[in-house]
Structure 1
Amino acid sequence: MAKNVYSVAQVNRYIKNMFTQDFMLARIYVKGEVSNCKYHTSGHIYFSLKDESGAIACVMFAGDRVKGLHFRMQEGQKVIVLGAVSVYERDGRYQLYAKEIVPDGEGDLYLRYERLKKELEEMGMFAPEFKQPIPLYSRKIGVVTAPTGAAVRDIMNITRRRNPFVQLILYPALVQGENAADSIVQGIRTLDEYGVDVMIVGRGGGSIEDLWAFNEEKVARAIFECRTPVISAVGHETDTTIADLVSDRRAPTPSAAAELAVVEYRQLMSGLELYRNQLADRVEQKILQCRQKAEFLRLRLQQASPEYQLREKKQHAADLEDRLRRTMEQKLIERKHTAALYAERLDGMSPLKKLQQGYSYIEDETGRALTGISQTAPGKMLKIHLADGVVAAKTTAVYASGSGRKESDGREDGR
């Protein structure tokens, strides 16, 4: 028994890796007749491609159908499938995983489309840095499309509804047939020279043959070289042309292109009203600030004038005079009050006041006021001053205060 034994899953995985690493099988075009075509509820499509010599199982996942399939496949229909060949590991069978499918009659055009797309992409014509911004407020809009048909009617209706003041300038171009590409190029260059604000280039939906003029290199270069921003609106949302890739903005439909190019009038007026109110508020605020500054400068100028300075000095002198007068009056009142208090106190200390209260004072014969008993003696004459007059008296005896002892009565013992 051999040493290296592999499981079925390992073998299938190994074979799948071999398929994955094969450059040719990673991106391959396969032509054949559709057989056993089934549209699953999940959105996937399961079918086979066959010819007179063999068949290959195919699957197209729902996520690839949006961009890769623009028609409904029928049994027996001949198609060209772009995809990758790989192994479905669970069943151990290989199959073609489809990315894009076109009818066999359109196969040559599709291959030309892919080659031109790759060439222009390598030249950088799809690069974001070359995209011009679409003006927000366009007044003149150029339109390159057929003069009749749904596309021009949709653009006119949307424009009229959104902003009736926008001017549409139509270049009636051929959008299908042998001379369509030259007509579209001439329309783009004419409107670019005319000086419109933005340009819509497009047409309604159709087959790849109908839309082929918008896949021509001359149209792509005219759009790329245009100084005016270009909005492409070719076919339906699922159609993608070279013109869509090189234009400044791609719209899924002509109606959507008109909505991109034309700002809604009511929205514009609402924005203008908002700006008007903001501007009025700022102007009013600025006027108020200027008035306040003018008043401040007027006061500064007024205060700097000699007349104002003299008036201020006079007022200051008058204030000082008034303060001095009030201070002096207050001081005078205080002094009067103090003098009255002192007078009252002096009056209370006056000898005459004491005499009126029943007190008296005594003088000796020489007029000296007596302050003690030692200053007199019995027989001495005294003057007793009372409130209403003087009493002449003679000392008959002298007594010490509180003792009751006679000091002298003026007579000798035995007399």
Structure 2
Amino acid sequence: MKLSDNGETVQKERGDNLFDENIFTVSEITSHIKNILENTISALWVKGEISNYKRHSSGHIYFTLKDENASLLCVFFRQFNHYLRFEPENGMEVLCYGKVTVYERSGQYQLYVNQMRPLGVGELEVAFRKLKEKLEAEGLFDEGHKRAIPTHPSKIGIVTSPTGAAIQDMKNVLSRRYPVEIILYPARVQGDSAAAEIAEGIRAFNKRDDIDVIIIGRGGGSIEDLWPFNEEIVAREIFASSIPIISAVGHETDFTISDFVADLRAPTPSAAAELVVPDRTAVLSELQSYASRMENILYSQLQEQRMHCAELTYKLERLHPQQVLMQYYQRVDELHSRLKNSLSYITNIRFELEEMKIKFLQSFRSIYLDANRDALVELSSRLGQTFSKKYRIVRDDFLNLSARLEELNPLKILKSGYTLTKKGTRILNTIKDVAVEDVLTVHFFDGACKCDVTEILEQREKETQ
């Protein structure tokens, strides 16, 4: 007998051995079972829990679907799982669509999967959660990687659809708040190729050196419409960008992967335009405030410098070399007068002493000379000692005054670098007494010279003012 594809047993051609008529090869049986399964069971959906999940280096996925009572081997080839938006894992409840067949080499029946959907949660929601967890684990959402948005950008790059309402809303807000140059990179914002175009727009702006900030976004829509902003390629381009990026996708309640990676998330495109530039009215008010503060600071500093200049002028006048020299002249005259008085006093005392000595000798010599010779000798000795002591005191005073007079000598001041200028016989102490072509005599400590005045310069203090 023989096997037919409809499952009925038919007569097999007789062989040489009478016992051969009921004998079949393994390949024949397996092929027969495969044909029965493929012809009688069409493509169908199968529900179960994933186990023994393995993704081969070839890109094919192998796993087992199981429930409480049975298990089914499954194969998900690369050309089909390439479009899978989430990563399956062991323990996940899924729905698989495919065709039941037999893998002849092992004799096992299995399900060739064409589609897979998670149970309980939408496929896109699972994909969103998986990618968010992956990128968060890699640190793409860390605040430490966020760059500051410039407060006064001069040129803004926008990646969005050129025909959508989002670009018009942003242009209107920007023109009203703070006019700035806008560079648009036209890109699809929904569909299969949208993610690649958005990523390319970010790369294109990063190749320029005149873009201060980038805005990527679009208006509201379903999760499928917003999905390009949940693609990994877009997230990684945002993270790799050297230019700060604002993500403005959908409405305030919509969140995408781009929002988490971007340096700043705006709830809407219009809000992004408001966040990226300041209000011109506020800027003008702030500038006026700065101008007022600068004016007050400059006025205070000017007053402080004026007071300082006045103090320096007073000190300069008081410590001017001419003033010092004039004081020394007066002091020298005073010491000279005292010295003359001291010399006159010494001379007078000396004359008085001599006169007293003569009178004493004349008046009392005859009386006391003989009777009081010893006393007279003693008194004479004491008188000599007293005179010598008084003479030494007066001499020391004279020497001290002479030394002080020498210290105050104008010539010594001239040795320090100062000079004394005369016009004729008059000492000059102001530039107002000097005229061009005057002949002046400049005295140094070791001589003097004649000078012709060729030019009169203004005072330095006037120059600094």
Q: TM-score, length-normalised on structure 2?
A: 0.44
Q: TM-score, length-normalised on structure 1?
A: 0.49
Structure showing greater Rg: 1
